[in-house]
Structures are given as structure tokens and as C-alpha cells.
Amino acid sequence: MIDKSISGKYAVVGVGQSAYGKFPEKDDFHLAADAFADALDDCGLEKDKIDGLAVCRLPHYGRMAEILGIQPRWTLQVPPHGRMSGVSIVEALAALDAGYTDYVVLLYANIGRSRRVQYGGEESPGFWDPWGFTSMGAIHAMMFREHMERYGTTTRQLAEVPVAFRRHAVMNPAAVMREAFSIDDHENARMICDPLRLLDYCLINDGAVCLILTSLERARDLKKKPVVVAGVGAQDALVNYSYPQHDFWYEPLTKVADQVYGMAGIGHDDVDSLMVYDNFSPTVLFSLEGLGFCKRGEAGAFVEGGTLGLGGKLPANTDGGHLSNSYMQGWALNVEAVRQVRGECGERQVPGCETVQYVAATPCTRSIIYRAA
């Protein structure tokens, strides 16, 4: 069991990002350095105080530290998987709690757009290639077809997810995709892997994100209102890793829900906004069911009528998410969670937002609840 005493002890003090889009003239280190400078400026921390470094999707922790001129006593490099954003934040909390670091910086960069990454085929050989099965999108399409067959979920219900997130991106000046579309537009979009269409797929763009964490005590000396981590939940699903997850991550999500709400001491009704990993739109429906925002098999009906939009019952991915803001593999969603709690989101601000939950339903499912200190 995770020690519940860490609830409220550690805070995100600085958040930053590079521009999002296509930047063939910049490499990943460069984008990450842009995000780091932005995060330092956000919190006013002296750079030399940083003594912990976690990097994801960057080629090398050593070169990154050299570029930034930081000398950590705790360093972590994780594989370039979206699930690793939540994993890294949880590991950083553990390192803070163990005293291995006092000020930890987490950096993520992606140059998939200008490097023409395909996320399938020869880039990621697997056992099922001879049958033509490849790409994360196809795995999610396979799961969503099963959900449709078992529960009667429809693609029009699924469309509620990307439609709501695009509405949010329209209100986010930094977002890559800012043109609103309707459920009918979604139904008519180009099919990529039936039953999923182009608008169910995350963007592929360049960009970088940075978070800086420290103890609440130390956070009080910095520029912005500290946003604490009130709860954390973690459960992996790695047995049968070669297959699409047959229960839509329901079991790991229920375990994560027990942990994260238990540690934070809150329930679903206390969540003012949800930041939900949306590499493909079905993941959002699976997350809602597993966390218990609705009953199993009923996420399609739950999201109907704009539930996830600003002004709806559960505003989600207010920055536009991976589907419309930026493919920052969970990192930007954690930044948006912090900004919502701070009240910095302008036109897309959730009124009276005090508690925001992040969740990634993945083979390494993680959830984090952020709250005003």
C-alpha cells in the first residue's frame, strides 16, 4: 500500500511548456530547455536549487542536464511511453519523500511531427505483424469494437469526447487544433481503423513540457500558490501485455480509484475537472467506467449531451487534450490540472476549481489528485 501520509505534503510549484506544433529547426533538447525556462520563470526558483531530474522521450538525461546546467543527486530516465508521465510523477514524489531530492524537475519532449513518426509498422515490430495488426490506435479500435458489441455503445456517443475537447482547444491559444467540429463531422471523418476515425486519434506534434515539484513547506517561498498532490493511485496490467486489454482496464482502474480517492479523502463529486489520458477517444470512456464516474458499460450514455464540456457535469481535458491541444503524452494534462487549480485558465477556466484529477488508463494505470494547498 502507498503511504497515505504523503497526501498534501508535496506540491507542483512550477509548470512550463514550449510552443506546440511543427519545429523541424529545433531538436528535443532545445524544446525541453524552452519548457524548463518557462517553468523556472513560473515559480521563480533559483536554478541551482534543483537536485533531481526525470526525463521522458528525451535521448539522454546527461546531455539534458548539461544543457540546463544542473547537477542532480537523483536522476531518472523512463521509456517514451505515455503511461510514463504518471509513473514519473509518482516516482518523483517517492524520491522527495525519501529525501533523495528536494527540488525535482520533470522534463518531456516529443519531436514526432517533424521526424514523421508513424507509431506502427516497422517502427514497432511485434508478434501479430503477419496478420497486419500494428499501432496503438488499432489496439484501442479493437477494444472499442468489443465495448460496442457488449454494451451497445455507439460511435455518436464516442464522438462526444473529441467534440468536447476540441471546443476546449478553441479556447486555448496554445492548442494545435482550434477549429470546432460536430458529432456529424466526426461520423463523416476519414476512417483509419474501423471503428475509429481520424478525429478519434491524438495529434502528432512537436513540443515539450516541464513540471517542478518540492515539499509544501519549501513551496511557500516561491512565486505561485502551491498546488499539492492530495492523492495517488497505481496499478499495472502487464500479464497478457501482447493483447488488447480485454476488460478495458476496468480492474486496474477500480484499484487505482480506491487508492487515489482514499488517500485524498474525497469522492467523485468533489472532482471539479478531470484530465483523462486521451491517446484515442475510447480510453476516456474506459476511464470513466473504471474510476466509477458511471456504471460499467454505461460511459456512452454518461457522456451524451456534453457532460465532458466546460459547463457540463464533468469538464474534462480543458486544454483540448491529446486529441486537440498537443500530444504531450499525459504531461500537458498534468500542467493543465495545476493551472486549473491555480485559476489561470482564462476563458476555459472551470469556475471555483479546487480539485482536479489526472488519470491514464494504460498498462501502467496511474491517477493523481491535485488540490489547492
Partner 1 sequence: MTPDIQRPLPDRNPISAPFWERADQRVLALPWCKKCDQTHFPPSPRCPYCLHDAFEWRPVSGRATLVSWVVFHRAYWDGVAAELPYNVCQVELEEGPRLISNLVGAAKEAPRHGMALKVTFTDRYPDITLPVFDAA
Residues lying near partner 1 in the complex (CB under 8 A):
118, 120-122, 125, 127-135, 138, 141-143, 145-146, 149-150, 190-196, 239-240, 242-244, 246
For residue 155, the minimal CB distance to partner 1 (Å) is 13
Cβ atoms < 10 Å from Cβ of 272: 18
CA-nearest of 183, 180, 156 to 320 is 180
User: In the chain, what's the furthest Cα-to-Cα distance?
Assistant: 58
At residue 228, the 3 state secondary structure works out as strand
What is the distance between the alpha carbons of residues 153 and 348, in angstroms, rounded to a whole number? 29
CB-based burial, 10-21: b 16+ in 10 Å, e otherwise: bbbbbbbbbbbe
Strands 52-56 and 103-110: parallel
For residue 142, the minimal CB distance to partner 1 (Å) is 5
What is the distance between the alpha carbons of residues 54 and 100, in angstroms, rounded to a whole number? 13
Q: Kindly tell me which of 25 and 149 has the beta carbon lying closer to partner 1.
A: 149
For residue 161, the minimal CB distance to partner 1 (Å) is 18
For residue 175, the minimal CB distance to partner 1 (Å) is 25
Q: Kindly tell me which of 58 and 323 has the beta carbon lying closer to partner 1.
A: 323
For residue 148, the minimal CB distance to partner 1 (Å) is 8
Cell of 63: 546531455
**Residues paired with residue 232 on neighbouring β-strands, in sequence order:** 368
For residue 247, the minimal CB distance to partner 1 (Å) is 12
DSSP track, 139-180: HHHHHHHHHHHHH---HHHHHHHHHHHHHHHHT-TT-S----
Is the alpha carbon torsion for 324, 330, 336, 340 positive or negative? Answer: positive
At residue 225, the 3 state secondary structure works out as coil
What is the distance between the alpha carbons of residues 172 and 364, in angstroms, rounded to a whole number? 29
| DSSP state, residue 60 | -
Q: Kindly tell me which of 143 and 294 has the beta carbon lying closer to partner 1.
A: 143
Q: Kindly tell me which of 180 and 198 has the beta carbon lying closer to partner 1.
A: 198
What is the distance between the alpha carbons of residues 139 and 218, in angstroms, rounded to a whole number? 43
For residue 138, the minimal CB distance to partner 1 (Å) is 6
Q: Which residues lie below 8 Å from residue 122, measured CB to CB, with a gap of 6+?
A: none
239 by Cβ neighbours in 10 Å (0-12 / 13-18 / 19+) ranks as exposed
| DSSP state, residue 286 | H
Q: Kindly tell me which of 149 and 179 has the beta carbon lying closer to partner 1.
A: 149
For residue 157, the minimal CB distance to partner 1 (Å) is 17
Phi, psi dihedral angles at 122 (to 5 degrees) = -65, -20
Q: Kindly tell me which of 71 and 124 has the beta carbon lying closer to partner 1.
A: 124
For residue 238, the minimal CB distance to partner 1 (Å) is 11
Q: Kindly tell me which of 100 and 133 has the beta carbon lying closer to partner 1.
A: 133
Q: Kindly tell me which of 54 and 159 has the beta carbon lying closer to partner 1.
A: 159
Q: Kindly tell me which of 121 and 305 has the beta carbon lying closer to partner 1.
A: 121
